[in-house]
Chains A and B, each alone.
Chain A
Amino acid sequence: MALKLEHVTYIYGADTQLPVRALDDICLEIPDGQFIGLIGHTGSGKSTLVQHLNGLIRPSQGRITWNGRDIWEAGFPKKELRSSVGLVFQYPEHQLFEADVFSDVCFGPNNLGLPREEVQKRARRALELVGIPEALYGQSPFELSGGQKRRAAIAGVLAMEPKILVLDEPTAGLDPKGRDEILGQIAGLKKETGISVVLVSHSMEDVANYVERIVVMSQGHILFDGEPRQVFRHKRELEEVGLAVPQVTDILHRLSAAGFAVDTDATTVPEARDTILKALGGKWDGPAAGRGAMGEKEKC
């Protein structure tokens, strides 16, 4: 069930004096069950790309295929695509509108024309997946906390049972714990349901801990596409396009430049700790042995 973009170009205002090439020859495949981070600074083309994924906008050039079929060919079932590729926009809680949480989540599957029991089953499951307790089902969505609202809104898209879930900045405006909770839940969701997730973000730190693959965009191009550790090796190029590598990666690059034998591929705090200890550790045995706790540790 792969979604594939082949040489996709998109131009805003093509017939005006000031055409803007927002996407330029993008080739990208989203296979089943992958967790992808899509990163780029403002204006890099991320959002334009995302809107192509479920046919909200039509490429100026190139084609997009879903299971090998061009989504813009005559007679392609768009409705099916829209339920298969779920988009969660920035601040999705602004789109909550129903009188209670449960009806809000039911809205999508209802529109698919599913029988009532099925709709409710899906809504229940979606709310469970995002961790909204049953006690809140009957409440007005506007009375929930910020994080709960956002999760309820995500549940609304999940209830469509998409094969690919695209989330645009799902953690914007949340406190650090809220960020961890949402990202953790999305990771769990991906594991449980086997769907593909595309996480759009400017934060490398958020993304580094969760995704398997990072796609970096700049000026409508794909700059890098690979595993986080591969992508973060390009610290300088990333900084040139206004992105920062995670702070830990930055530190390891500094230390490496200062002559420490650290592994600069580490992207998370525990990995960085281990490689720094290792780099220092090699030199710490011997002379330190007589000196208390550290000496003892070094002998182990």
Chain B
Amino acid sequence: MGIIESSHLSYDYVKLNEEGNAEGVTRAVDDVSLSVEPGQFIAILGHNGSGKSTLARHINALLVPTEGSIFVDGKDTAKEENVWDVRQSAGMVFQNPDNQIIGQVVEEDVGFGPENMGVPTKEIWERVEESLRAVGMYAYRKHSPNKLSGGQKQRVSIAGVLAMHPKCIVLDEPTAMLDPDGRKSVIRAARALNDVERVTVILITHYMEEVIYADRVFVMDKGRIVMQGTPREVFSHVEQLKALRLDVPQVTLLAYALQKSGLPLPDGILTAEELELELKKLRDRKNAAGGAAGAKEAGADGWNVGEEEPDAVDGGTA
């Protein structure tokens, strides 16, 4: 059984009028069944209002399903007596770094979680140290959180969750308010947790570049999961993503534009390195084909160039 198992999970936001009677119902999550294996790095994409955050809030029992169920580490979140266990298994980091730091000193803030769990003092300090080291913030342990940058604050927040030794950590748009440097440092910390500590990471984001390292990507729309797969599989569907108000990384978009113009590139190129490599291959094959012996080799590789939009290439080559 996976660490997170949801089956036919639905959630309704109910709008109440002044008398407290239900006025309208909005279904934010609609019949979602998913399973996450321990140690996976999962990304959830979706436009504003697609239901990603509502789904995420089910993972640590901030919300419980209106219909269906969700089990975290084998425990049903809908059962009152499981709530504390669930919150210990699945920690959550939110978007705004300023809303989730309470300590006066970094190490105090990180120690807050384990202290509340009744961890012995000595062990709290051990956990604080190891968590701060894991996110690269140990040097700042005596600093005031107020004076940290946004990216640093987010890493402290992650350390705070980590000190509770969760099996799974949910990051709800942790980088939305950060600059490129801060974004990189937070994503790096999240990846390290996953790689080194084998913590299951669930990353919710709008930034397509941040999901390319994920093991699995879920795309949500109108509360449903509408696409899922590896980043490469998902990002191969450029048009479909655009229809869902999403984007693909600029590199992927460029590779797609080149493909449409007739270049025989593979689907779902995700990084600049990959594109460079593929273009070099093309050039080499081309050059080889220019030589007498090369033609056969290149032909055998089968460059079946896409027939669509043959005109597109003219603009570029004419």
Mask of A201-214 contacts with B, CB within 8 angstroms, 1/0: 01101000000000
Find out whether the CB atom of B289 lies under 8 angstroms from the CB atom of A173: no
A274 close to B (CB within 8 Å): yes
Q: Cα distance A246–B253 when bound, in Å?
A: 13
- Asked whether A50 is an interface residue with its Cβ less than 8 Å from the other chain, the reply is no
Complex: A244 Cα to B209 Cα, angstroms: 13
Q: Which of A67-75, A76-84, A282-290 forms contacts with chain B? A: A282-290
CB distance from B22 to the nearest CB of A (A): 16
A174 and B258 contact, Cβ closer than 8 Å, known pairs A247-B251, A277-B263: no
Is A41 positioned at the interface, with any CB of B under 8 Å from its CB? yes
Q: How far is the CA of A58 from the CA of B218 in the complex (A)?
A: 49
- Report whether B303 and A291 are in contact in the complex, using a CB–CB cutoff of 8 Å: yes
A178 cross-chain contacts in B, Cβ below 8 A: 47-48, 245
| B interface, CB within 8 angstroms of A | 46-49, 95, 149-150, 173, 176-182, 206, 208-209, 242, 245-247, 249-251, 253-254, 257-258, 261-264, 272, 275-276, 279-280, 282-283, 286-287, 289-290, 295, 299, 303-307, 310, 313-318
Neighbouring A residues of B249 by C-beta, 8 Å: 247
Would you give the shortest CB distance from B314 to chain A, in whole angstroms?
5
Q: Please state if B289 and A280 are interface contacts (CB–CB under 8 Å).
A: no
Closest CB of chain B to A27's CB: distance in Å?
A: 25
Interchain CA distance A43-B246 in the complex, whole Å: 30
- Indicate if the CB atoms of B286 and A287 lie closer than 8 Å: yes
Contacts of B299 in A (CB 8 A): 291
- Nearest CB to that of B182 among chain A residues? A42
Q: Which residues of A have CB within 8 Å of B275? A: 251
Please report which residues of chain A, range 18-68, place their CB below 8 angstroms from some CB of chain B when the two chains form the complex.
41-43
The 10 closest A-B pairs by CB, nearest first: A277-B316, A177-B245, A176-B247, A281-B317, A247-B250, A175-B47, A273-B257, A202-B179, A294-B305, A242-B181
Q: Which residue of B lies closest to A41 (CB)?
A: B179
Contact status A277-B313, CB under 8 Å: yes
Interface stretch among A121-129, A155-163, A184-192, A253-261? A253-261
- Show 24 A/B contacts (Cβ-Cβ < 8 Å), sorted by A: A172-B176, A175-B47, A176-B245, A177-B47, A178-B48, A247-B251, A250-B272, A254-B272, A269-B250, A272-B257, A276-B254, A276-B316, A277-B263, A278-B316, A280-B263, A280-B279, A280-B282, A281-B313, A281-B316, A281-B317, A287-B289, A287-B295, A292-B304, A297-B317
Cα(A254)–Cα(B306), bound, Å: 26
Docked Cα-Cα span, A178 to B182, in Å, equals 22
- Complex Cα distance, B245 from A250, in Å, reads 25
In the assembled complex, how far is the CB of residue A183 from the closest CB belonging to chain B, in whole angstroms?
Answer: 13
Q: Which of B173, B178, B313 has most chain A Cβ within 10 Å?
A: B313
Q: Contacts A286-B290, A297-B317 known; A173 to B254 CB distance under 8 Å?
A: no
A293 is an interface residue with CB less than 8 A from chain B: yes
**Structural contact, B48 and A288, CB atoms closer than 8 A:** no
Question: Given A175-B48, A243-B180, A244-B180: A288 and B250 within 8 A (CB)?
Answer: no
Assuming A176-B246, A294-B262, is B314 touching A283 (CB within 8 A)? no
Instruction: Give the docked Cα–Cα distance between A277 and B305 (Å).
Output: 14
CB distance from A294 to the nearest CB of B (A): 4
- Whether A174 contacts B305 by the Cβ 8 Å rule is no
With the chains together, A83 CA to B129 CA distance in Å?
52
Contacts of A133 in B (CB 8 A): none
Residues of A within 8 A of B (CB): 41-43, 145-147, 172-178, 202-203, 205, 242-244, 246-248, 250-251, 254-255, 258, 260, 269-270, 272-278, 280-281, 283-284, 286-288, 291-294, 296-298, 300
Is the Cβ of A269 less than 8 Å from the Cβ of B253? yes
Q: When chains A and B are docked, how far (Å) is the Cα of A145 from the Cα of B47?
A: 11
Contact B48 A247 (CB under 8 A): no
Residues of A within 8 A of B242 (CB): 177
Whether B314 lies near A300 (C-beta < 8 A) is: yes
Contact A258 B316 (CB under 8 A): no
Q: Is the beta-carbon distance between A146 and B149 smaller than 8 angstroms?
A: no
Enumerate chain A residues within 8 angstroms of B251, measured Cβ to Cβ: 247-248, 251
A173 & B95 in contact (Cβ 8 Å cutoff): yes
Complex interface: chain A residues within 8 A of B272 (CB): 247, 250-251, 254
Bound: A244/B46 CA distance, A? 25
Contact B254 A41 (CB under 8 A): no
Contact (Cβ within 8 A) A145 B176: no
Given contacts A176-B246, A254-B272, A255-B279, whether A269 and B257 have CB atoms under 8 Å apart is yes
Are B149 and A42 closer than 8 Å at their CB atoms? yes
**Nearest Cβ in chain A — how far from B251, in angstroms?**
5
Q: Is the CB of A145 within 8 A of B49?
A: yes
Q: Are A173 and B177 in contact (CB under 8 A)?
A: yes
CA distance A43 to B254 in the complex (A): 32
Check if A260 sits within 8 Å of B305, measured CB to CB: no
Contact indicator A258/B254 (Cβ below 8 Å):
no
Contact partner of A276 (CB less than 8 A), chosen from B250, B258, B303, is B258
- Are B246 and A177 in touch, CB under 8 angstroms? yes
Known: A43-B149, A176-B47, A273-B261. 11 other contacts (CB 8 A): A42-B149, A242-B181, A246-B250, A251-B251, A254-B276, A276-B279, A276-B316, A281-B317, A292-B305, A293-B310, A294-B303
Q: Are B48 and A174 in contact, with the CB atoms below 8 A? A: yes
Are B254 and A248 in touch, CB under 8 angstroms?
A: yes
- Closest CB-CB distance, B288 to chain A, in whole Å? 9
A175–B307 contact, CB under 8 A?
A: no
Residues of B within 8 A of A294 (CB): 262, 264, 303, 305
A42 to B287 Cα, complex, angstroms: 47
Residues of B within 8 A of A275 (CB): 316
A242 touches B317 (CB 8 A): no
Enumerate chain A residues within 8 angstroms of B46, measured Cβ to Cβ: 175
